[in-house]
Chain A
Amino acid sequence: DTGVSQDPRHKITKRGQNVTFRCDPISEHNRLYWYRQTLGQGPEFLTYFQNEAQLEKSRLLSDRFSAERPKGSFSTLEIQRTEQGDSAMYLCASSSRNFTTSAKNIQYFGAGTRLSVL
């Protein structure tokens, strides 16, 4: 049983560079979420996919951020022209709508990608 995997685990980049993160959800899960978490805070919702459709996007997501899930399986999160304020842990989670009403709200998280912008 494989869980949610994220790659890379750590990324160090210089300000102004573009970065891309990948998330592979649990295979039978059709919902995928991206969150950002800074030190000492809870995860902040960024965006949500159901299959390949991006259904919700937070106002936190500036135009420099874009997420895709082209075939309804893995997803990528790209940050263009990174800024020091983008330094954070980026978490991916997945869930399934095929369970009972309660169980489908349960999200399974990956270990995250820690981004450091120098």
Chain B
Amino acid sequence: SQQGEEDPQALSIQEGENATMNCSYKTSINNLQWYRQNSGRGLVHLILIRSNEREKHSGRLRVTLDTSKKSSSLLITASRAADTASYFCATGSFKTIFGAGTRLFVKA
């Protein structure tokens, strides 16, 4: 069973808008990662946030982590059509557990 649960399951926005995806997990973690998957392809690592960090930025990506609520959020600012993909949060160092993902569709 999946540990991470993403919310929403699907998101459709216009190009230029911001997209926010949320992830909840069940057990204590050392770090949490976000991955992107384009249709029918492998996953690409986006960003890793450690359990002692509350916020992290990478380009247009902003990730927050609230270990007390066992939740994380991924914000993509100024979205582009090329951001259309599925986004997954993942926990665990070796036995990595992925959520079911948020499907983001950015309309040009």
Contacts and interface: CB of A to CB of B under 8 A. Distances in A.
B88 A42 contact: yes
Nearest to A57: B95
Contact of A42 (B42, B94, B101): B101
Contacts of A67: none
B31 interface: yes
Interface residues of B, number: 26
B2 interface: yes
B19 to A, nearest CB: 18
B41 interface: yes
A42 B33 contact: no
Nearest to B6: A42
B100 A40 contact: yes
B50 A107 contact: no
B81 interface: no
Contacts of B31: 102, 105
A106 B45 contact: yes
Given A41-B100, A42-B4, A112 B33 contact: no
9 contacts: A43-B98, A45-B97, A55-B94, A91-B42, A105-B31, A106-B33, A106-B45, A107-B43, A107-B96
Given A42-B2, A109-B42, 14 more contacts: A41-B100, A42-B4, A42-B101, A43-B88, A44-B2, A45-B92, A45-B97, A93-B43, A103-B48, A106-B45, A109-B43, A109-B44, A112-B41, A112-B42
Interface of B: 2, 4, 30-31, 33, 35, 40-45, 48, 50, 88, 90, 92-101
For the complex of A and B, 3 pairs with smallest distance between CB atoms = A42-B98, A109-B42, A109-B43
